[in-house]
């Protein structure tokens, strides 16, 4: 895979995301949504638990939901970029042009994903910090976060490791998007929704019941959430962090290989069928 | 009055038919539209349930139902004229004798009809899976629901004229508006009144959005057994009705103003800025 092509694609990704306005406005508008959804999910727990009889509010659970909601939004924001790049690229004739230049489609999709990963990482960090301060002051509570250079570095490492799984998922969806001519843009909302339910973003997957909980337990996204919580919430241990991170890495590599193989197969088949530039059913 | 003799009714019916047909002509739309509201509603219902807060699970399911309509108002009402402008449809609307207000009303009714199946699916699935406790006064629920939709879609009409003045910003503004409005409107939890954790100033600001009053009134009638004659509920119903009329009037005035301005400056059919 050409590094130069990938770097060029990262630049294309940023131009696509911010070219319509100045970067600060673009970044602010992209942060407002995740910030609001993090606060909303946390408030759901707060309202329910403080009005429960007897009240059952626990700051550690609030921290659990806050981290999960922010990181879920992060994964959902960039894992669907490869699908978007293909669906939108077909309409704007960009993707067929990328495809006909040699060995470019995979670096292009990877570069677009990485560009979105960087943007989304900044967005999620701002959301986390702001929601931490907003919720602490509105709910008058101490959210038991562990904020020091080591914990933030460990969170960032977990986010980096999760790129494997997210890119793999993006490539799996892209394999479908090559053939789809309608509703392909809706597929990522389903996948994002499923991630919200199955990745332990807001509640423990054990609440889902068997066999759904068993499936959710082995997903790399679930392990990523667990590792991030070990890094950021008081009471986490380094041993647990690295155990979860290892599982997230292992699962991520499996998903990435699956995504890569599925995309290669789909690309060859789409070329033979002549649907790379097909826009309507 | 016969439908074919009245251009306003004919226009509204034509736009309604077109929108409804675009949904019901492709049943997959229902499956597509249900994704986001269902999974969000499911997850937040699980938050209530997983932490032992079963009596609140209905709030999240109701939120899933209403978020379908809010999404439709934003993406298929507010930004519709902007998209129509990009594909050259808006100049046809303007040059034809069809009244713009009829197009907007038809679009709203078609939007409600088109969103109803996915909203109903969220409600049915939520009911079957979670069995939320309900203590409903149905005539009041139906009235509140109808008034909420009326004022919500009137807000969509007002926004559509605002978005017409924008170019490519419209989509990004929509994305930025969706979650914050859902948050302060209390789609999944009470954001006003005794249960709300928000400061009074935020609650007062949120009450200017029809969705906030509608959600609160729906919770009162659906889960707390309140009916007509309860002071606060009657106030909310009255406010929703006033908001609907004011927003309808504002959208008509704003569209007329933008149309006249567009004619004078020659920008009415300029597609990209």
Q: Where are the domains of chain A?
A: 3-273
Q: Looking at the domain assignment, is residue B270 inside a domain?
A: no
8 Å CB contact of B197 and A44: no
Backbone angles phi, psi at A145, to 5 degrees: -85, 150
Q: Looking at the domain assignment, is residue B183 inside a domain?
A: yes
8 Å CB contact of B39 and A50: no
| Higher pLDDT pick, B264 / B189 | B189
Share of chain B above pLDDT 90, in %: 36
Q: Which residues of B touch A138 (CB under 8 A)?
A: 197-199
- Dmax over CA atoms of chain B, in Å, equals 62
Nearest to A69 by CA among A94, A45, A93: A45
Q: Looking at the domain assignment, is residue B273 inside a domain?
A: no
Backbone angles phi, psi at A13, to 5 degrees: -60, -45
pLDDT of residue B2: 63
Report the residue from B40, B179, B189 with minimal CB separation from A43: B189
How many CA atoms lie less than 13 Å away from B104 in the CB half-sphere? 29
8 Å CB contact of B179 and A37: yes
The CA distance from B59 to the nearest CA of chain A, in Å, is 9
CB atoms within 10 A of CB A222: 23
pLDDT of residue B235: 93
Share of chain A above pLDDT 70, in %: 98
Report the residue from B35, B188, B196 with minimal CB separation from A190: B35
pLDDT of residue B1: 57
Q: Which residues of A touch B48 (CB under 8 A)?
A: 44, 48
8 Å CB contact of A34 and B197: no
Q: Which of A162-171, B38-47, B87-96, B136-145 has the lowest mean pLDDT?
A: B87-96
8 Å CB contact of A183 and B180: no
> Is the pLDDT reported for residue B192 higher than 80?
yes
Report the residue from B38, B48, B168 with minimal CB separation from A48: B48
Q: Suggest the residue from A64, A70, A193 to mutate for an interface test with chain B (most B CBs closer than 10 A).
A: A193
> Is the pLDDT reported for residue B265 higher than 80?
no
Summarize the confidence of residues A190-196 as an average pLDDT: 85
Question: What is the number of residues in chain A?
Answer: 281
pLDDT of residue A20: 65
Report the residue from A29, A46, A51 with minimal CB separation from B176: A29
pLDDT of residue B220: 93
Summarize the confidence of residues B161-179 as an average pLDDT: 76
**Domain span including residue B31:** 3-265
Write out the DSSP string of B201-240.
Answer: HHHHHHTTSHHHHHHHHHHHHHHS---TT-HHHHHHHHHH
Q: Looking at the domain assignment, is residue B180 inside a domain?
A: yes
Q: How many CB pairs below 8 A link A and B?
A: 119
Banded pLDDT at B149 (limits 50, 70, 90): very high
> Is the pLDDT reported for residue A15 higher than 90?
no
pLDDT of residue A8: 86
> Is the pLDDT reported for residue B259 higher than 80?
no
pLDDT of residue B143: 93
| Higher pLDDT pick, A245 / B164 | A245
pLDDT of residue B211: 92
Average pLDDT score over chain A: 87
> Is the pLDDT reported for residue B270 higher than 90?
no
Summarize the confidence of residues A159-185 as an average pLDDT: 87
Average pLDDT score over chain B: 86
**Each residue of B108-133: pLDDT tens digit?**
999 899 889 889 999 999 999 999 98
CB atoms within 10 A of CB B175: 15
Q: Looking at the domain assignment, is residue B272 inside a domain?
A: no
Q: Which of A244-258, B37-51, B155-169 has the lowest mean pLDDT?
A: B155-169
Question: Partners of A233 in the beta sheet?
Answer: A145
CA distances from A76 to A34, A71, A195, B40, B235 (A): 10, 8, 8, 13, 40
Question: Partners of A145 in the beta sheet?
Answer: A233
> Is the pLDDT reported for residue B85 higher than 90?
no
**Per CB distance under 8 Å, which residues of B are interface residues toward A?**
28, 32, 35-36, 38-40, 42-44, 46-53, 55-56, 60, 168-169, 172-173, 175-176, 178-180, 182-183, 187-190, 195-199
> Is the pLDDT reported for residue B5 higher than 70?
yes
pLDDT of residue A262: 94
pLDDT of residue B109: 92
Q: Suggest the residue from A43, A136, A139 to mutate for an interface test with chain B (most B CBs closer than 10 A).
A: A43
pLDDT of residue B272: 55
Summarize the confidence of residues A39-57 as an average pLDDT: 87
Q: Which residues of A touch B32 (CB under 8 A)?
A: 183, 186
Q: At what angle do helices A81-91 and A187-198 cross, to 10 degrees?
A: 170
8 Å CB contact of B51 and A204: no
Banded pLDDT at B65 (limits 50, 70, 90): very high
pTM of the model: 0.89
User: Which tokens belong to A8?
Assistant: 């060029």
pLDDT of residue B20: 85
User: Which tokens belong to A90?
Assistant: 């077909």
* Count: domains in chain B: 1
Residue of A nearest to B194 (CA): A51
pLDDT of residue A133: 93
| Higher pLDDT pick, A99 / A38 | A38
Residue of B nearest to A36 (CA): B180
pLDDT of residue A53: 77
Q: Looking at the domain assignment, is residue B271 inside a domain?
A: no
pLDDT of residue B269: 66
Summarize the confidence of residues B219-224 as an average pLDDT: 92
């Amino acid at each position: 895979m050409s590094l130069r092509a990938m770097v060029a694609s990262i630049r294309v990704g940023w131009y696509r995301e911010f070219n319509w306005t100045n970067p600060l406005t673009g970044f602010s508008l992209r942060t407002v949504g995740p910030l609001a959804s993090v606060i909303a999910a946390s408030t759901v727990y707060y309202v329910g638990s403080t009005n429960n009889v007897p009240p059952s509010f626990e700051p550690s659970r609030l921290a659990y939901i806050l981290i999960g909601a922010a990181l879920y939004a992060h994964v959902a924001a960039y894992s669907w970029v490869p699908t978007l790049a293909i669906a939108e690229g077909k309409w704007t004739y960009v993707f067929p042009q990328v495809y006909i230049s040699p060995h470019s489609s995979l670096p292009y999709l990877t570069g677009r994903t990485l560009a979105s990963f960087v943007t989304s990482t900044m967005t999620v960090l701002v959301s986390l910090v702001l929601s931490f301060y907003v919720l602490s002051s509105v709910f008058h509570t101490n959210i038991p976060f562990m904020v020091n250079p080591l914990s933030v570095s460990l969170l960032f490492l977990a986010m980096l490791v999760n790129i494997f799984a997210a890119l793999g998922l993006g490539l799996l969806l892209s394999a479908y998007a090559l053939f789809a001519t309608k509703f392909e843009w809706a597929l990522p909302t389903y996948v994002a929704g499923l991630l919200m339910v199955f990745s332990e973003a807001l509640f423990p997957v054990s609440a889902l019941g068997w066999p759904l909980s068993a499936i959710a337990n082995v997903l790399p996204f679930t392990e990523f959430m667990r590792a991030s919580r070990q890094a950021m919430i008081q009471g986490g241990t380094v041993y647990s962090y690295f155990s979860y991170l290892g599982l997230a890495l292992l699962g991520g590599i499996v998903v990435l290989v699956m995504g890569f193989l599925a995309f290669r197969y789909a690309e060859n088949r789409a070329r033979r069928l002549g649907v790379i530039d097909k826009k309507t059913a | 009055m016969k439908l074919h003799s009245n251009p306003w009714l004919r226009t509204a019916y034509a736009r309604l038919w077109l929108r409804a047909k675009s949904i019901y002509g492709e049943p997959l739309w229902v499956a597509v539209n249900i994704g986001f509201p269902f999974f969000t509603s499911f997850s937040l219902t699980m938050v209530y349930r997983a932490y032992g807060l079963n009596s609140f699970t209905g709030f999240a399911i109701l939120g899933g139902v209403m978020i379908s309509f809010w999404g439709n108002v934003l993406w298929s009402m507010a930004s519709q004229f902007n998209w129509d402008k990009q594909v050259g449809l808006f100049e046809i609307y303007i040059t034809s004798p069809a009244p713009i207000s009829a197009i907007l009303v038809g679009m709203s009714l078609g939007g409600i009809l088109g969103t109803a199946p996915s909203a109903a699916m969220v409600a049915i699935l939520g009911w079957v899976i979670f069995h939320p406790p309900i203590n409903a006064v149905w005539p009041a629920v139906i009235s509140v629901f109808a008034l909420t939709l009326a004022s919500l879609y009137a807000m969509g009409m007002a926004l559509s004229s605002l978005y017409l003045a924008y170019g490519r910003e419209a989509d990004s503004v929509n994305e930025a508006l969706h979650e914050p409005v859902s948050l302060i409107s209390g789609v999944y939890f009470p954001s006003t009144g005794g249960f709300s954790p928000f400061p009074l100033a935020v609650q007062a600001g949120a009450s200017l959005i029809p969705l906030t009053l509608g959600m609160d009134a729906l919770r009162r009638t659906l889960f707390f057994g309140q009916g007509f004659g309860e002071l606060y509920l009657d106030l909310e119903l009255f406010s929703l009705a006033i908001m609907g009329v004011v927003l309808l009037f504002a959208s008509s005035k704003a569209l007329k103003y933008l149309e006249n301005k567009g004619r004078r400056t020659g920008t009415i059919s300029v597609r990209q800025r």
